């Protein structure tokens, strides 16, 4: 193909050899960085050693902590032509037997794992009982053949060349590896570049999951346009939130990838006196990942307007591991917020709210990107929904992955759907529920697998969790919530689980207050409120609550709690 990712990065390395391409702020203070030329040269040298060790096209599991070395290794795998399978690195202070890798090795048949010298022993202990262990080679960079960089051979890449195995978070089921081709990546990079009008002056700051394909894509997109990417670990920000604002100001960051946690830290965890000298005139905030909380977004804008941040510098986005970016809101306009009726939403209709208790505020995810076609489809009939009717979000385009690794049935259930009315397709079924307004903007309302059906009507866990949180002062400081349904005597019952730092001995009064509040707001009966110690709820590796697994808690913690 005319312009591969390798060719495009080398063009930037030739154009901006001394410019910093990547900065890793491990503690928020030290500032190790690597230039475009250094990154290109070191990736090429490592790629030559990888090619001497394994064939082009073979999968390699990359298990490295956030570091400049990870950035070099990621690019080196692309240069070498091997398929990158990122694996979240373990905490080596924990018991190796608690470290799980999920289905990665079974799915991809990868038998080479590149990690650090320190982690090699830990991972060997963690994986020694796995059936594939005898065929698995765990190496560090030092174990690769010592061949000169001149031995590197640029791989022959096409649009259909597989470059990534991107694993889903596993929020609503077992994590699945998405097959990502070079064509998928290049399409997404082009979409983002056009949408954000990117150039070499861009500076991106990311906080989350360095090993996730979405973060790798964004950093790659910035670098392929000659811009700089900065990684500031969220663990560092949680310890000292002001470091995020100082980074944004000191590096003149003009693109911050944010989620609800980012907004919360900036709104509630930073003191006014810490913000002296902070200037955010240059900042553009991109929000997405989860359904954006409108109150947090408004509070962020209100607080930081005094520090140069413009309301019109917020842009909302939507995407998934299966296809990266799907939509974005209009640059220069604050994302539209719509207030809708929860009662109508329970019947899949979008109508104005009838009261404050009936009101739900939603932030638009924007309009489809250049290469994307989007449809709202009834998940039962598979027919397109009318405007302002809730259905499943279906997307198609060249950025969509090719399916799941070694899972033809799951691939068939998710990819390759066609509309029965006109055979338009193939579409990806995202599993997200939403609607389109008259401006052609997408609004997300929840996940199909997490939606609750109670008394023949639909309810969304987040709305019930928010009601429970506001019902009692103790719950306002809760660590986490999960609303879910259990089937008892052929009837679905509502349960809310809440994690607390300290669980009080007598929780009956709290349960009564929450039950009454949910009854008044949502017109549904709460079967039980489970008060649990911190870290009881099942989570993904990225920290998201697995609501669909919470029903297993009921048999061990519920029963004596009913009235």
- CATH number of the structural domain spanning residue 430: 2.30.38.10
Does residue 151 share a domain with residue 18?
A: yes
Q: Are 399 and 372 in contact (CB under 8 A)?
A: yes
User: What is the C-alpha separation between 553 and 67, in angstroms, rounded?
Assistant: 38
Pairing of strands 391-396, 428-436: antiparallel
476, burial (CB in 10 Å: exposed 0-12, middle 13-18, buried 19+): exposed
Q: Is residue 263 part of a domain?
A: no
Per-residue confidence (pLDDT) for residue 172, from 0 to 100 = 57
Per-residue confidence (pLDDT) for residue 132, from 0 to 100 = 92
Phi, psi for 329 (deg, rounded to 5): -80, 170
Per-residue confidence (pLDDT) for residue 221, from 0 to 100 = 96
Residue 280 DSSP symbol: -
Q: Are 155 and 80 in contact (CB under 8 A)?
A: yes
Angle between helices 260-268 and 242-250 (to 10 degrees): 100
Q: Is residue 220 part of a domain?
A: yes
Residue 349 DSSP symbol: B
User: What is the C-alpha separation between 441 and 262, in angstroms, rounded?
Assistant: 24
Does residue 102 share a domain with residue 39?
A: yes
| Predicted structure pTM score | 0.91
Does residue 31 share a domain with residue 118?
A: yes
User: What is the C-alpha separation between 277 and 273, in angstroms, rounded?
Assistant: 10
3-state secondary structure of 359: strand
DSSP string, 54-120: S-TT-EEEE---SSHHHHHHHHHHHHHTPEEEE-PPP-TTS-GGG---TTHHHHH---EEE--HHHH
447, 473, 501: which is the final residue of a domain? Answer: 447
User: What is the C-alpha separation between 91 and 113, in angstroms, rounded?
Assistant: 17
CA-CA-CA-CA torsion sign (548, 554, 555, 556): positive
- CATH number of the structural domain spanning residue 466: 3.30.300.30
386, 416, 447: which is the final residue of a domain? Answer: 447
Neighbours of 349 (CB within 10 A): 14
Helices marked H in 337-454: 342-345, 408-414
User: What is the C-alpha separation between 367 and 372, in angstroms, rounded?
Assistant: 9
Does residue 222 share a domain with residue 98?
A: yes
Q: Is residue 310 part of a domain?
A: no
Residue 553 DSSP symbol: G
Phi, psi for 433 (deg, rounded to 5): -105, 140
Does residue 434 share a domain with residue 463?
A: no
Does residue 424 share a domain with residue 470?
A: no
Q: Is residue 431 part of a domain?
A: yes
Which residue shows structure tokens 């707001």?
A: 521
Among 391, 436, 390, smallest CA distance to 417 is for: 391
> Any idea of the CA torsion for 49, 52, 55, 58, to the nearest 10 degrees?
-30
User: What is the C-alpha separation between 239 and 522, in angstroms, rounded?
Assistant: 37
Q: Is residue 562 part of a domain?
A: no
| Beta-bridge partner residues of 519 | none
Q: Is residue 22 part of a domain?
A: yes
Does residue 234 share a domain with residue 124?
A: yes
For residue 165, what are the contacts with CB-CB under 8 A and spacing of at least 6? Answer: 59, 83, 84, 85, 86, 104, 107, 108, 110, 177, 178, 179, 180, 405
User: What b/e sequence results for 390-427 when a residue is b if at least 16 CB atoms lie within 10 Å of its CB, and e otherwise?
Assistant: bbbbbbbbbbbbbbbbebeeebeebbbbebeeeeebeb
3-state secondary structure of 456: coil
> Any idea of the CA torsion for 124, 130, 135, 138, to the nearest 10 degrees?
-20
User: What is the C-alpha separation between 504 and 499, in angstroms, rounded?
Assistant: 12
Counting the structural domains of the chain, the total is 3
User: What is the C-alpha separation between 378 and 367, in angstroms, rounded?
Assistant: 20
206, 221, 239: which is the final residue of a domain? Answer: 239
Give the C-alpha distances (Å, rounded to integers) separating 410 from 80, 413, 417. Answer: 30, 5, 12
Residue 185 DSSP symbol: H
The angle subtended at Cα 254 by Cα 312 and Cα 29, nearest 5°, is: 135
Show the low-confidence residues of the chain (pLDDT under 50). Answer: 558-563
Does residue 84 share a domain with residue 42?
A: yes
Does residue 154 share a domain with residue 234?
A: yes
User: What is the C-alpha separation between 486 and 489, in angstroms, rounded?
Assistant: 10
DSSP string, 488-538: ETTEEEEEEEEEESS--S--HHHHHHHHHHHHHHHS--EEEEEEEETT-S-
Does residue 216 share a domain with residue 83?
A: yes
User: What is the C-alpha separation between 21 and 561, in angstroms, rounded?
Assistant: 57
Q: Are 416 and 335 in contact (CB under 8 A)?
A: no
Q: Is residue 321 part of a domain?
A: no
Q: Are 111 and 139 in contact (CB under 8 A)?
A: no
Per-residue confidence (pLDDT) for residue 421, from 0 to 100 = 84
Q: Are 330 and 316 in contact (CB under 8 A)?
A: no
- CATH number of the structural domain spanning residue 56: 3.40.50.12780
Full domain range(s) for residue 499: 452-557
* Residue 28 structure tokens: 């928020």
Does residue 233 share a domain with residue 147?
A: yes
* Residue 316 structure tokens: 């909302």
Does residue 471 share a domain with residue 387?
A: no
Q: Is residue 319 part of a domain?
A: no
Per-residue confidence (pLDDT) for residue 149, from 0 to 100 = 96
* Residue 533 structure tokens: 């110690």
| Beta-bridge partner residues of 86 | 62
């Amino acid at each position: 193909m005319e312009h591969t990712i390798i060719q495009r990065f080398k063009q930037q390395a030739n154009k901006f050899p001394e410019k910093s391409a990547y900065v890793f702020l491990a503690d928020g203070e030290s500032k190790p960085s690597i230039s475009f030329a250094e990154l290109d040269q070191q990736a090429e040298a490592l790629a030559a050693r990888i090619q001497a060790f394994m064939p082009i096209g073979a999968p390699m599991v990359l298990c490295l902590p956030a570091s400049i070395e990870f950035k070099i290794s990621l690019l080196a795998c692309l240069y070498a032509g091997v398929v990158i399978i990122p694996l979240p690195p373990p905490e080596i202070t924990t018991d190796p037997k608690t470290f799980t890798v999920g289905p990665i090795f079974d799915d991809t048949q990868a038998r080479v794992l590149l990690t650090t010298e320190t982690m090699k022993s830990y991972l060997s202990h963690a994986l020694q009982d796995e059936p594939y262990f005898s065929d698995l080679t765990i190496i560090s960079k030092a174990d690769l053949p010592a061949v000169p960089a001149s031995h590197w051979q640029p791989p022959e890449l096409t649009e259909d060349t597989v470059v990534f195995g991107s694993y889903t978070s596993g929020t609503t089921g077992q994590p699945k590896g998405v097959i990502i081709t070079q064509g998928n990546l290049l399409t997404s990079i082009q979409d983002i570049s056009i949408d954000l009008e990117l150039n070499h002056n861009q500076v991106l700051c990311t906080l989350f999951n360095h090993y996730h394909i979405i973060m790798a894509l964004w950093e790659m997109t910035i670098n392929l346009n000659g811009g700089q990417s900065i990684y500031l670990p969220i663990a560092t920000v949680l310890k000292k939130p002001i470091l995020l604002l100082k980074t944004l100001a000191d590096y003149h960051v003009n693109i911050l990838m944010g989620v609800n946690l980012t907004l919360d830290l900036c709104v509630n965890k930073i003191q006014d006196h810490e913000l002296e000298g902070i200037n955010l005139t240059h900042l553009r905030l991109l929000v997405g990942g989860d359904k954006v909380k409108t109150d947090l977004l408004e509070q962020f804008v209100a607080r930081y307007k005094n520090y140069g941040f413009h309301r019109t510098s917020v842009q909302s986005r939507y995407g998934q591991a299966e296809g990266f970016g799907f939509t974005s809101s209009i640059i220069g306009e604050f994302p539209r917020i719509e207030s809708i009726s929860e009662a109508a939403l329970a019947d899949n209709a979008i109508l104005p709210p009838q009261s404050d208790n009936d009101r739900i505020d939603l932030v638009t995810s924007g309009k489809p990107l250049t290469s994307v076609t989007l449809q709202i489809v009834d998940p039962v009939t598979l027919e397109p929904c009318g405007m302002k009717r809730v259905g499943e979000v279906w997307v198609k385009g060249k950025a969509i992955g090719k399916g799941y690794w070694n899972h033809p049935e799951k691939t068939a259930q998710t990819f390759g759907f066609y509309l029965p009315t006109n055979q338009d397709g193939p579409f990806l079924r995202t599993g997200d529920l939403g609607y389109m307004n008259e401006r052609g903007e997408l609004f997300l309302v929840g996940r199909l697998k997490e939606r609750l059906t109670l008394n023949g009507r639909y309810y969304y866990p987040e709305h019930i969790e928010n009601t429970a949180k506001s019902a009692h002062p103790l719950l306002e400081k809760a660590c986490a919530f999960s609303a879910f349904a259990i089937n008892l005597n052929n009837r679905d019952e509502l349960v809310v689980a809440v994690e607390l730092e300290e669980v009080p001995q007598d929780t009956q009064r709290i349960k009564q207050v929450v039950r009454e509040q949910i009854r008044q707001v949502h017109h549904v009966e709460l079967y039980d409120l489970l008060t649990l110690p911190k870290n009881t709820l099942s989570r993904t590796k990225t920290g998201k609550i697995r609501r669909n697994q919470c029903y297993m808690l009921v048999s061990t913690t519920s029963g004596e709690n009913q009235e």
